[in-house]
Chain A
Amino acid sequence: MMTSTTPLTEKKRRKWLVIGFCALTTSFAFSAFISPDGWSSPASFSDVLFQLRLRRVGMGVLAGMGLAGSGVVLQALLRNPLADPFIIGVSGGAALGGTFVLVLFSGAPLLFLVAGAGTGALITTLMLATFLVRSRRGGDPALLAGVVLNAFAASLITLAKTLLPATKAQALLFWLVGRIGYPSTTNLLITAGLILTPLLISVSRAGRLELMAFGDDEAYRLGIDVRRERLFFFFAASLMVGVLIPQCGLIGFVGLVLPHALRRLVDADHRLLLPLSALFGGAVVVLFDAASRGLFFILQTELPVGALTALIGAPLFGWSLVVEMRGNDLKDAAKN
């Protein structure tokens, strides 16, 4: 894991958190006025469509915060830059649980889908947690187990897609690819509680995460109960992912790219990186979702936000890598 080369100052932390907060609120305000017909200002704030959209934007904020936050936690926890919310197996378990409900109980209410996916996420979380607790070699066995679980889930989902009629397979694909819907107020509040609680507790313990990023032995010598902390952060990240996937599907790249970008651009210290990633994650997902909604009047469909994040996130990340490599080459040349 990359760590900061210069110590993080409280002034810098505050400055960037204010920037992140401003980015989030600006994105929220901007997105609330993007409708399927383009820019729209509601007649009043009590307008039903506007209220519906506010709930969707709210869910987008939570999705972005949860995904980026869990991405940072997992990358530090597993000490693997490739770790993201969709590599640890919980996503596979949730997707499989949801698919199971969609296939067997196609007429069941939405709550069943959420319950099925949540159960899938919980089962895989518990399985992976046992790997994490028993492992004496950091998070590697858990990471590998997660990859294997994801592959297993993916094969079963492919099987379901093959056996299902075309329309059902299309609906399944659409759910899996990730989109943000219109939650009820109750649903939104419950989701907010389940995302923000583990996120805020993780932020308050981000210093321990920073120490754990140096390695288990180092953290242990510094007085950290590594096994307990590892388990806490793993459950916190899994809860965030497990709550989001049943409702929003698989919105990829936010949890992987954004933390990396901020680590390079701002600071690698988790006391700043974790809250900042969450704030920018919320802003980015909300903006991508607004783009998917606003493009409706051109495309006559709303692109799944998961497709957009990968479509734009992948080239951006590739570009940032190329820029960094060139920068390193130039530094090497200057040294020589």
Chain B
Amino acid sequence: MPRAFFSFSSAKPPAAYAFLVGFFLSFSATATNPRSPQFLPSSSMPFPKMNSPAESPKSYSKVVSLAPVVTETLFSLGLAKNIVGVTRFCDRPSQAKHKEKIGGYVDVSLEKVLSLRPDLVIAMPSLGQRALLEQIAGQGIDVYVVFGDTLVEVKDLIAGIGAVMNKEKEASFLLAELEKGLKEAKATNAITKKSVLLLVAAAPLVAAGPTTFANDALRVLGLSNAAQKGPQWPVLSLESLAALSPDLIVVVSGPNDGKNVREKVTAAGLKVRILVPSKPILMRPGPSLHLDVQVLGKLLSSQPKIAQ
């Protein structure tokens, strides 16, 4: 499983410009799938090494999580005791709130992370974390990066963390539960072939676009995403929302945003049904994603006039 995260491409482009393109692409692309879970190799940067328990420990005892989905997965795998640090956004399960905080997504404190003396840091790399992860790896601490944009990536994430933490059985169980839950959600959903727009924010209006786990949730339920093209999380005006002509809008970010969207859409004279779950759903990926999909399925099925 360990593979170079920042490796050069093995391709041999003929021309200089092709080399340059390949050079830049190689920073984010590996030979097979660049977005599967993988270890970040130790940097050769001239940083002093931490006194880590072992050079390459086979079992990690002190883990810092740099993303809520990672924290939730670690807890679900029964690794609560091994977690020594989490982000301030890690609130699921509730025990995560009592763990030591290391910062947020882009404002992680390197000193705080290192002071916890972890032997493994698990991250979902973003722009702001790039330098941080290089520096952590430079200290001789193993850095494992995972991705969670789509349903497939969430499954890889669970399996990857399970493998790294020697919890393959528990990971298989979580994955089976996820699959089972998604099948149940599909079975309970009475509406199919409808175009649905999922809104994750009201001011501005932000929709769930393609290559998102929310998009996959709609696919699982047999529905199509009204925002099928464009960026992952497109920002919409009322006009562009109308142009997508969805059959339904679901404000997944919850009642407050739901009220806001209703007011905006009504004031603009748009005639489209707006559904709002009683609490936020599909706002973040994780091992309990199927529960959110089930809530969405039930919400849609509870609309008698739309059900076919």
Residues of A within 8 A of B (CB): 35-37, 48-49, 51-53, 102, 104-110, 162-163, 165-168, 170-172, 174-175, 181-182, 184-186, 293, 296, 300-302, 304
Query: Which of chain B's residues 26-71 have a Cβ closer than 8 Å to chain A?
Result: 27-28, 45-51
Q: Are B232 and A165 in contact (CB under 8 A)?
A: yes
Query: Which of chain B's residues 97-119 have a Cβ closer than 8 Å to chain A?
Result: 101, 103-107, 109-112, 114-115
B130: interface (CB < 8 Å): yes
Chain A residues with Cβ below 8 Å from B243 are none
Q: Are B206 and A49 in contact (CB under 8 A)?
A: no
| Contact pick for A107, options B28, B101, B114, CB 8 Å | B28
Chain B residues with Cβ below 8 Å from A53 are 111
Chain B residues with Cβ below 8 Å from A174 are 106-107, 128
Chain B residues with Cβ below 8 Å from A104 are 24
B139: interface (CB < 8 Å): yes
| Contact pick for B139, options A48, A106, A163, A293, CB 8 Å | A48
**How far, in Å, is A10 (CB) from chain B's closest CB?**
43
**How far, in Å, is B273 (CB) from chain A's closest CB?**
27
| Contact pick for A167, options B88, B105, B134, B235, CB 8 Å | B105
Number of interface residues of B (CB under 8 A): 38
Chain A residues with Cβ below 8 Å from B46 are 184-186
Chain B residues with Cβ below 8 Å from A182 are 110, 135
Report the nearest A residue to B104, measured CB to CB.
Answer: A301
B11: interface (CB < 8 Å): no
Given A174-B128, A182-B110, A165 contacting B231 (CB threshold 8 A)? yes
**How far, in Å, is B202 (CB) from chain A's closest CB?**
14
Q: Are A184 and B47 in contact (CB under 8 A)?
A: yes
Q: Are B109 and A302 in contact (CB under 8 A)?
A: yes
Chain A residues with Cβ below 8 Å from B104 are 300-301
Chain B residues with Cβ below 8 Å from A108 are 24, 27
Q: Are B50 and A48 in contact (CB under 8 A)?
A: yes
Report the nearest A residue to B132, measured CB to CB.
Answer: A181
- Mask, B119-134, CB within 8 Å of A = 1, is 0000000111111001
B173: interface (CB < 8 Å): no
Residues of B within 8 A of A (CB): 6, 24, 27-28, 45-51, 88, 101, 103-107, 109-112, 114-115, 126-131, 134-135, 139, 206, 231-233, 235
Q: Are B111 and A293 in contact (CB under 8 A)?
A: yes
Q: Are A106 and B127 in contact (CB under 8 A)?
A: yes
Q: Are B24 and A300 in contact (CB under 8 A)?
A: no
Chain B residues with Cβ below 8 Å from A304 are 107
In the bound complex, what is the Cα–Cα distance between A295 and B233 (angstroms)? 33
In the bound complex, what is the Cα–Cα distance between A302 and B88 (angstroms)? 12
Chain A residues with Cβ below 8 Å from B130 are 106-107, 109-110
**How far, in Å, is A43 (CB) from chain B's closest CB?**
12
Interchain Cβ contacts under 8 Å between A and B, 29 examples: A36-B109, A36-B111, A37-B115, A48-B48, A48-B50, A48-B139, A49-B115, A104-B24, A105-B24, A105-B27, A107-B27, A107-B130, A109-B27, A110-B131, A163-B231, A165-B232, A167-B126, A170-B128, A171-B106, A174-B107, A174-B128, A182-B110, A182-B135, A184-B45, A184-B47, A186-B46, A293-B109, A296-B109, A300-B103
In the bound complex, what is the Cα–Cα distance between A53 and B109 (angstroms)? 12
In the bound complex, what is the Cα–Cα distance between A105 and B23 (angstroms)? 10
Q: Are B115 and A35 in contact (CB under 8 A)?
A: yes
**How far, in Å, is A327 (CB) from chain B's closest CB?**
42
Chain B residues with Cβ below 8 Å from A37 are 112, 115
**How far, in Å, is A166 (CB) from chain B's closest CB?**
6
Q: Are A168 and B115 in contact (CB under 8 A)?
A: no
| Contact pick for B233, options A48, A51, A165, A181, CB 8 Å | A165
